[in-house]
Structure formats: C-alpha cells, structure tokens
C-alpha cells in the first residue's frame, strides 16, 4: 500500500509540473539588444570572430637621390611644331621615404605654360612670376621629340612591390637663378591607385617637389613633400588565410 501511494504522489507531482509549463515555449539562445540571438560560447563552439583588417594611414614623405632625367621637352620647341606651350619631363631616382623604405621611382608628366598656376604652392626658389599648370589628361605625346608623358608614377620597393599613381594636378614655376627661365620648381600632385603585392589595394596622395637648374642640367631637389599619405592593409603571416 505504501509503495502504491508513493507512485501516486510522484505521478501527481509530474502532472503539476507539466501543467505549469507552456509547451509552446522553446528554450533559445540569449537575445541581444538588436533582437538577434547572441552566439553560443559553449563547449565545441567556434569562438573565432571575423573582423575587417584595419587600413591605417601612414605618412609618406622623403628625399630622392641619384636622380636622372630620361628626357625633357621645352615648350618653345613644342610651340614650333604646333604642340602648344606644353613642356614635360621624365625622371628616375632612388629614395628613402617613410612607410616604404628604400624605393626606386619613375615619373613623367606634362605642364601647360598657357595656363597660369592657381597659386596653391609657393616656390622656394627665385621665382619670375611666370607659371604653368600640370596637365591631368594622359598619356600625352609630344611633337618636337618622340616621347610620351604617361602621368603614371611608380614607386618600387626593394622586394619588388609597387605603388602606382596617377598625376592629378599641380603647378610649375619658372625660376631665375642667374637669368629668368634658367630654372624651374615643380609641384606634381599624385593620387595613389593601388599597385602590386601588399599595395594592391593601396590608396593615398602625395606631391613630388622638384627644383631644377635647367642651365646646369641637373635637379637641385627632388622629394615627396611632407603631407603625403598612404593606406594599405598589412600582410598576414604566411600560412594563414592569405596575404593582404
């Protein structure tokens, strides 16, 4: 009899507990403020989170050495063959700039002396009051000399990774070291449009500043001016999900 009563009481307790539960309610994961379930961090759960790789802004500036002009076009020569008052040059140099270290650089551009500079930059050399505006449409072919201004500067690191740019504006000022026109000061604006290796998705901006003694046939200064910047994703360790 006692055993039968105990079983009866147990059945009654189970029935009461079932009546107190709502069968429509199913236990769920914790809910966040946005209404979505929060991820489970129980045993066996994958706790790895996918995050966007940061692209910090790095300063880009520094001097160039071992500078060599591949070619130089005079605007008076261009005017003589119907090319207008357009001049241009291509230079190659080695430099050491922040964010990139030692680099080899090549750049070519053209500028129009019939369009005076807007005065964004101030020449450091002895200016004469005559100025030109750097062109933005490339490539530009000259008629007095069979050369082409690409308007596409390239900075190459020692490991072969390249930073690519496009000339996006700038100014050129005539200088007079001894006589008017025996020198020039150039401010070539460059927009970074990617590259190779770690710089495949690089962005940024810099200005190539050059002071040239035309009479002596040599540059006095070529540098990336302070104020330049570059953004690119850092490379991940090899053996991971790939390099950025």
**Mean pLDDT of residues grouped by 10 in the chain (244 residues)?**
46 44 46 45 47 78 93 95 97 95 97 98 96 98 97 97 98 96 97 96 97 88 96 65 40
The kind and range of the H/E element at 3 are helix 2-19
The pLDDT of residue 52 is 55
| Confidence at residue 47, expressed as pLDDT on a 0 to 100 scale | 46
pTM above 0.85?
A: no
CA distance 228 to 200: 18
Distances (CA, A) of 211 to 108, 126, 222, 243: 15, 11, 7, 39
Q: Output the six-digit token pair for 126.
A: 């002895």
Please list the residues that pair with 173 across neighbouring strands. Answer: 131, 185
Q: What is the pLDDT of residue 36?
A: 42
Q: What is the pLDDT of residue 21?
A: 45
Contact 147, 90 (CB under 8 A): yes
pLDDT of residue 1: 47
Residue 178 burial (C-beta neighbours within 10 Å; 0-12, 13-18, 19+): exposed
pLDDT at 51: 53
């Amino acid at each position: 009899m006692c055993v039968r009563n105990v079983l009866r009481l147990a059945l009654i307790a189970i029935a009461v507990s079932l009546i107190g539960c709502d069968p429509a309610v199913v236990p769920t994961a914790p809910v966040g403020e946005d209404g979505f379930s929060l991820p489970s961090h129980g045993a066996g759960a994958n706790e790895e989170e996918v995050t966007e790789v940061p692209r910090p802004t790095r300063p880009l500036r520094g001097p160039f050495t071992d500078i060599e002009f591949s070619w130089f076009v005079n605007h008076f020569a261009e005017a003589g063959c119907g090319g207008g008052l357009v001049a241009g040059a291509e230079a190659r140099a080695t430099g050491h700039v922040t964010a990139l270290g030692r680099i080899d650089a090549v750049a070519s551009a053209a500028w129009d002396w019939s369009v005076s500079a807007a005065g964004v930059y101030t020449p450091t050399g002895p200016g004469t009051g005559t100025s030109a505006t750097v062109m933005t449409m490339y490539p530009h072919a000259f008629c007095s000399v069979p050369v082409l201004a690409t308007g596409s500067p390239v900075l190459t690191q020692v490991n072969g990774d390249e930073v690519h740019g496009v000339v996006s504006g700038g100014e050129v000022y005539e200088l007079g070291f001894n006589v008017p026109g025996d020198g020039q000061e150039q401010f070539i604006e460059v927009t970074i449009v990617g590259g190779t290796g770690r710089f495949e998705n690089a962005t940024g901006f810099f200005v190539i500043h050059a002071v040239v003694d035309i009479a002596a046939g040599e540059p006095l200064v070529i540098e990336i001016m302070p104020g330049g910047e570059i953004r690119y994703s850092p490379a991940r360790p090899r053996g991971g999900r790939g390099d950025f």
